[in-house]
Amino acid sequence: MLIFVKLICRFGRLSTEMRKHKKRKPRKGWSDIILYYKASVIDKCKFVTECNLPTDECVELAGRYTEPVIIQRSKEQNEKYYHEHVRSAHASGLNTSSHLLSNDKNRSIRIDQLFSPDCDGNTPKTVILSGDSGRGKSFTLQKIMLDWAFGKLYYKNFDVIFLLKCEELKCISEEMSLFELLSWSCSLTLDQISQILELTPEKVLILIDGIDEYVSHPPSHSMLVLTNPSDRAQPMDIFRNVLKGILLPESFMLVTTISLAADAEINLLKGPQRFTEIVGFSERGVQEYFQKFFWDEQLFRKTYERVKINESLLTACSVPLLCWMVCFCLKKHFTDDDHVMRELKTNTSIYVHFVSTLLEHHDQSQSVLTMLRSLGQRAEEGVKKREGLFVEKSVTATGLDPATNVFLYKDSLKRNNRQVPVFKFMHLSFQEFFTALYYVLLDKEESWGKVTDLLTSLKMKGIINRPSPERRSNPIPSVVMFLCGLLNEKASSSLFEMIKWTVPQIIKLKTNLQESLLTVIRQHGCELFALRCLYELQDEKVVRRALGDWVSMNLYNISLRSTDCWVLLYCLQCCPHVRYLNLMYCDLTAEKLKILQPALCMCENMRLSVKHLSEVGDLIHILGKSKFLKKMRVQESENSAESPRWSLDLSVTHGDVLLSLSSSEKNPSFPAVLNITLTCPQSEISSTDWSLFLQRLSKTEKVAEDSSALDEHVSLLLSLFHSVGLKTLNLKLVSLNKSWASGIIFLAQTCNSLQQLSVSVTGLLLEEGLMFLKKSLTEPHCTVIIEGRKCSKLTDQCKEQDWSHSCNEKVEIYLKPKVLKKLEE
DSSP symbols for 773-825: HHHH-SS-SSEEEEEEEEE--SSS---GGGTTSTTEEEEEEEE--HHHHHHH-
Please report how many Cα atoms fall inside a 13 Å half-sphere around the Cα of residue 94, on the Cβ side: 15
Total of domains in the chain: 1
Least-confidence region, from 253-257, 644-648, 655-659, 706-710: 706-710
Least-confidence region, from 162-166, 312-316, 735-739, 760-764: 735-739
Three-state DSSP class for 507? helix
Residues 242-247 have a mean pLDDT of 91
Residues 554-589: tens digit of each pLDDT = 999 888 999 999 999 999 999 888 889 999 999 999
Tell me if 171 is assigned to some domain: yes
pLDDT at residue 807 above 70?
A: yes
* Domain interval for residue 90: 68-280
What residues contact 313, with CB distance under 8 A and at least 6 apart?
307, 326, 341, 344, 345
Confidence (pLDDT) at 773: 80
pLDDT at residue 498 above 80?
A: yes
What residues contact 7, with CB distance under 8 A and at least 6 apart?
none
Residues 478-495 have a mean pLDDT of 91
Tell me if 58 is assigned to some domain: no
- Strand segments, DSSP code E, in 79-234 are 107-108, 126-130, 160-165, 204-209
Instruction: Output the pTM of the full model.
Output: 0.86
Neighbour-count burial for 29-43, b at 16+ CB within 10 Å, e otherwise: ebeebbeebbeebee
**In angstroms, rounded to a whole number, what is the distance separating the alpha carbons of residues 68 and 73?**
16
Least-confidence region, from 245-254, 263-272, 447-456: 263-272
Pairing, β 126-130 against β 107-108 = unpaired
- Strand segments, DSSP code E, in 219-378 are 252-257, 273-280
pLDDT band for position 639 (cuts 50, 70, 90): low
CA 330 from chain center: how many Å?
28
pLDDT at residue 4 above 80?
A: no
pLDDT band for position 79 (cuts 50, 70, 90): low
More confident of the two residues 643 and 396: 396
pLDDT band for position 91 (cuts 50, 70, 90): very low
Least-confidence region, from 142-146, 633-637, 713-717: 713-717
Say which DSSP state 401 is in.
Answer: -
Confidence (pLDDT) at 8: 36
Burial grade of 717 (CB within 10 A; 0-12, 13-18, 19 or more): buried
Confidence (pLDDT) at 87: 38
Element (H, E) at 421: strand 418-425
Torsion of CA 574, 580, 586, 589, to 10 degrees: 80
Tell me if 182 is assigned to some domain: yes
pLDDT band for position 234 (cuts 50, 70, 90): confident
- Strand segments, DSSP code E, in 531-604 are 552-554, 580-588
CA 360 from chain center: how many Å?
36
**In angstroms, rounded to a whole number, what is the distance separating the alpha carbons of residues 642 and 644?**
6
pLDDT at residue 412 above 50?
A: yes
Over 452-496, what HEC string results? Answer: HHHHHHHHHCCCCCCCHHHHHCCHHHHHHHHHHHHCCHHHHHHHH
**In angstroms, rounded to a whole number, what is the distance separating the alpha carbons of residues 522 and 527?**
10
Tell me if 708 is assigned to some domain: no
Least-confidence region, from 260-274, 355-369, 375-389, 672-686: 260-274
**Alpha-carbon separation of residue 424 from 20, 431, 435, 776 (angstroms):** 48, 9, 14, 80
What residues contact 347, with CB distance under 8 A and at least 6 apart?
316, 322, 481, 482, 485, 536, 563
Confidence (pLDDT) at 248: 94
What residues contact 29, with CB distance under 8 A and at least 6 apart?
none
pLDDT band for position 437 (cuts 50, 70, 90): very high
Three-state DSSP class for 648? strand
- Strand segments, DSSP code E, in 294-417 are 390-391, 408-415
**In angstroms, rounded to a whole number, what is the distance separating the alpha carbons of residues 7 and 706?**
76
More confident of the two residues 93 and 505: 505
**In angstroms, rounded to a whole number, what is the distance separating the alpha carbons of residues 519 and 463?**
13
Confidence (pLDDT) at 748: 87
Tell me if 757 is assigned to some domain: no
pLDDT band for position 763 (cuts 50, 70, 90): confident
Tell me phi and psi for residue 57, to 5 degrees: -90, 165
Least-confidence region, from 93-97, 352-356, 492-496: 93-97
**In angstroms, rounded to a whole number, what is the distance separating the alpha carbons of residues 749 and 571?**
49
CATH of the domain at 142: 3.40.50
Three-state DSSP class for 222? coil
Residues 738-749 have a mean pLDDT of 85
pLDDT at residue 762 above 80?
A: yes
Tell me if 648 is assigned to some domain: no
Three-state DSSP class for 573? helix
pLDDT at residue 215 above 80?
A: no
More confident of the two residues 62 and 640: 62
pLDDT at residue 231 above 80?
A: yes
**Average pLDDT in the chain:** 83
Tell me phi and psi for residue 181, to 5 degrees: -60, -45
Residues 663-700: tens digit of each pLDDT = 887 655 555 788 999 999 999 998 889 999 998 888 87
- Among 337-346, 390-399, 498-507, name the most confident range: 390-399
More confident of the two residues 738 and 601: 601
Q: Evaluate whether 546 touches 534 at the Cβ level (below 8 Å).
A: yes
Residues 60-75 have a mean pLDDT of 89
Confidence (pLDDT) at 124: 94
Share above pLDDT 90 across residues of the chain, in percent, rounded to a whole number = 43
Residues 296-305 have a mean pLDDT of 92
Confidence (pLDDT) at 260: 55
Confidence (pLDDT) at 185: 82
Say which DSSP state 559 is in.
Answer: P
- Among 19-33, 403-417, 705-719, name the most confident range: 403-417
Pairing, β 756-764 against β 783-791 = parallel
Share above pLDDT 70 across residues of the chain, in percent, rounded to a whole number = 83
Confidence (pLDDT) at 465: 56
Residues 337-362 have a mean pLDDT of 87
Tell me if 210 is assigned to some domain: yes
**In angstroms, rounded to a whole number, what is the distance separating the alpha carbons of residues 154 and 134?**
25
Three-state DSSP class for 154? coil
Confidence (pLDDT) at 10: 39
Element (H, E) at 677: strand 673-681
Residues 464-487 have a mean pLDDT of 77
Burial grade of 537 (CB within 10 A; 0-12, 13-18, 19 or more): buried
Task: Provide the phi-psi class of 96: left if phi over 0, else alpha when psi is between -120 and 50, else beta.
Answer: alpha
- Strand segments, DSSP code E, in 271-417 are 273-280, 390-391, 408-415
Q: Evaluate whether 141 touches 209 at the Cβ level (below 8 Å).
A: yes
More confident of the two residues 144 and 670: 144
Least-confidence region, from 39-43, 350-354, 772-776: 772-776
Tell me if 60 is assigned to some domain: no
Element (H, E) at 757: strand 756-764
Q: Evaluate whether 211 touches 265 at the Cβ level (below 8 Å).
A: yes
